[in-house]
């Protein structure tokens, strides 16, 4: 089969979101809606992806490129309708062979399998439209069809009472030969209730030219389009349900699945166990046989095999945990590499650091990485023992097999094998505790 071009419509304003942010940049699964549509389309292994932008175009272009540096974007300066939006891609698609698939940037839950079924249906029809059955009051376009054969699409605004009673609705997803699609959209007019260029008119135009149109039906949940904050929340819930099921199918144990929140790009390996109330931000990879204990927040980090994290740990971007690392409760790690077997059990902040293998970081350790202007690095060698409540004032290096005394403020490099203590020496006064207590009591009595 020849290659596929994706056209993703993302020019609309989304006024019902009541937001300054373009609609397609609102997030579910910690990723913009647009990324979800692009990810679904990616399953077709497209030769080209074209995003049609308009409202907030600069921000939407940038988000599209962040997902796929090779994406092409085209401006629709006035939003004159879905047919007009698709027509903006015509100059880019001149001479393009193979099919084009139109997706909406605000419809994030389309399944790859559904898009593949549409591609397969192209063997039977020149134009393939994705439909779904809807029994509510949704103002969707209605598909007038006989079995798989599609006669026309009537927009809700233009439909008769009888046509509105049809439950088969238009999702908006369309697949046709790229050249044919561009020919068809060039012929769309605006003689309708909205005075817009309706993409849906291509069905009748195609049939008038002796081409056939067909319907592929998917579950309504897949075509959920986001227009309001309520729909955004519903899509988030649907995405999470799907992500949890996928993780379980991939051999991940979720102790309390409903309390675990995944991002679009989360990767978790087989036989990893995730406890209750764990939240994944973007950019997290967990290898196999690791354990994420309850109440952890993870983003932009990599957790290797057999590592254990939490309960109550926070891993921020650049946290890189090698095999067998243990990170315990109330520990925050940012931009730090922890080599194999490192233990950071309790109440610690490690930022901008490298910790060598088998090193033990005592409770309450802090890398003082920020001087108010710049960030500085802390380097700790292998097999080091950092005493509890050590402040490591960066830039600073602690050599291999060294130790720091509890409560030390380490401002100078510590050589390998040395013990560094940086704190006031203890003074002990025999019997003074009892004398002081007597003095306090007698003062209190006198009043």
Binding site for ligand UD1 (CB under 6 A): 9-12, 52, 54, 76, 79-82, 84-85, 104-106, 140-141, 153, 155, 169-172, 198-200, 225
Smallest distance, ligand UD1 to C-beta of residue 54, A:
6
Smallest distance, Ca ion to C-beta of residue 166, A:
18
Does the annotation count 125 as an active-site position? no
When CB distances are held under 5 to 8 angstroms depending on the partner's kind, the choice from ligand UD1, Ca ion, none that residue 309 binds is none
Identify which of residues 39 and 76 has a Cβ nearer to ligand UD1 in the complex.
76
Q: Is 269 left (phi over 0), alpha (psi -120 to 50) or beta?
A: beta
Smallest distance, ligand UD1 to C-beta of residue 238, A:
16
> In the structure encoding, which two tokens stand for residue 444, read together?
């209190």
Check binding of 225 to Ca ion (CB under 5 A).
yes
Q: Is 16 helix (H, G, I), strand (E, B) or coil?
A: helix
Identify which of residues 229 and 435 has a Cβ nearer to Ca ion in the complex.
229
Smallest distance, ligand UD1 to C-beta of residue 107, A:
7
Greatest pairwise CA separation for the chain in angstroms: 110
Which of 26, 35, 297, 346 does the annotation list as catalytic? Answer: 346
Distance (Å, rounded) from C-alpha 343 to C-alpha 326? 5
Smallest distance, ligand UD1 to C-beta of residue 223, A:
7
Q: Which residues pair with 130 in a beta bridge?
A: 216
Q: Using CB under 5 A, which residues numbered 65 to 94 contact Ca ion?
A: none
When CB distances are held under 5 to 8 angstroms depending on the partner's kind, the choice from Ca ion, ligand UD1, none that residue 198 binds is ligand UD1
Identify which of residues 226 and 315 has a Cβ nearer to Ca ion in the complex.
226
Q: Which residues pair with 334 in a beta bridge?
A: 351
- 15 by Cβ neighbours in 10 Å (0-12 / 13-18 / 19+) ranks as exposed
Distance (Å, rounded) from C-alpha 51 to C-alpha 149? 29
Q: Binding segment for Ca ion among 31-39, 95-103, 143-151, 222-230 (CB under 5 A)?
A: 222-230
311 alpha-carbon distance from chain centroid:
23
Identify which of residues 29 and 105 has a Cβ nearer to ligand UD1 in the complex.
105
413-442: burial string, b at 16+ Cβ within 10 Å, e else = ebeeeeebebeeeeeeeeeeeeeeeeeeee
Identify which of residues 80 and 416 has a Cβ nearer to ligand UD1 in the complex.
80
297 alpha-carbon distance from chain centroid:
14
Catalytic residues: 346
The residues binding Ca ion (CB under 5 A) are 225
């Amino acid at each position: 089969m020849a290659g596929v071009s994706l056209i993703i419509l993302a020019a609309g304003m989304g006024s019902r979101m009541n937001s300054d942010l373009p609609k397609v940049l609102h997030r579910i699964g910690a990723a913009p809606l647009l990324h979800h549509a692009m990810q679904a389309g990616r399953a077709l292994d497209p030769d080209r992806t074209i995003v049609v932008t308009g409202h907030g175009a600069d921000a939407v272009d940038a988000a599209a490129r962040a997902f796929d540096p090779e994406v092409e974007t085209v401006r629709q300066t006035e939003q004159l309708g879905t047919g007009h939006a698709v027509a903006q891609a015509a100059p880019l698609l001149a001479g393009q062979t193979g099919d084009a698939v139109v997706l909406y940037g605000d419809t994030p839950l389309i399944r790859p399998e559904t898009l593949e079924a549409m591609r397969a249906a192209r063997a039977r029809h020149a134009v393939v439209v994705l439909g779904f059955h809807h029994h509510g009051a949704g103002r969707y376009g209605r598909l007038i069809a006989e079995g798989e054969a599609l006669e026309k699409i009537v927009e809700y605004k233009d439909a008769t009472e009888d046509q509105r009673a049809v439950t088969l609705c238009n999702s908006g997803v369309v697949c046709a030969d790229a050249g044919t699609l561009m020919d068809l959209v060039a012929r769309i007019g605006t003689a309708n209730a909205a005075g817009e260029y309706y993409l849906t008119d291509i069905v009748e135009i195609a049939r008038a030219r002796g081409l056939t149109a067909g319907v592929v039906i998917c579950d309504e949940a897949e075509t959920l389009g986001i227009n309001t904050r309520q729909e955004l929340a519903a899509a988030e819930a649907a995405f999470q349900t799907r992500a949890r099921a996928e993780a379980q199918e991939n051999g991940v144990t979720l102790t309390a699945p409903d309390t675990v929140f995944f991002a679009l790009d989360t990767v978790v390996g087989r036989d990893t166990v995730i406890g209750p109330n764990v939240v994944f931000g973007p950019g997290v990879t967990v290898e196999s046989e690791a354990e994420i204990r309850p109440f952890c927040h993870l983003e932009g980090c990599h957790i290797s095999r057999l590592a254990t994290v939490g309960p109550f740990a926070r891993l921020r971007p650049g946290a890189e945990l090698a095999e067998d690392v243990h990170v315990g409760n109330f520990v925050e790690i940012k931009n730090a590499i922890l080599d194999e077997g490192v233990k950071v059990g309790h109440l610690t902040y490690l930022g901008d650091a490298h910790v060598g293998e088998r090193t033990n970081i005592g409770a309450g350790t802090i890398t003082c990485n920020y001087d108010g202007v710049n960030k500085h690095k802390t380097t700790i060698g292998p097999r080091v023992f950092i005493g509890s409540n050590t402040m490591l004032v960066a830039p600073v290096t602690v050599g291999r097999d060294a130790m720091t005394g509890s409560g030390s403020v380490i401002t100078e490099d510590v050589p390998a094998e040395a013990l560094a203590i940086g704190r006031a020496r203890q003074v002990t006064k025999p019997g003074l505790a009892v004398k002081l207590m007597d003095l306090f009591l007698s003062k209190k009595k006198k009043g």
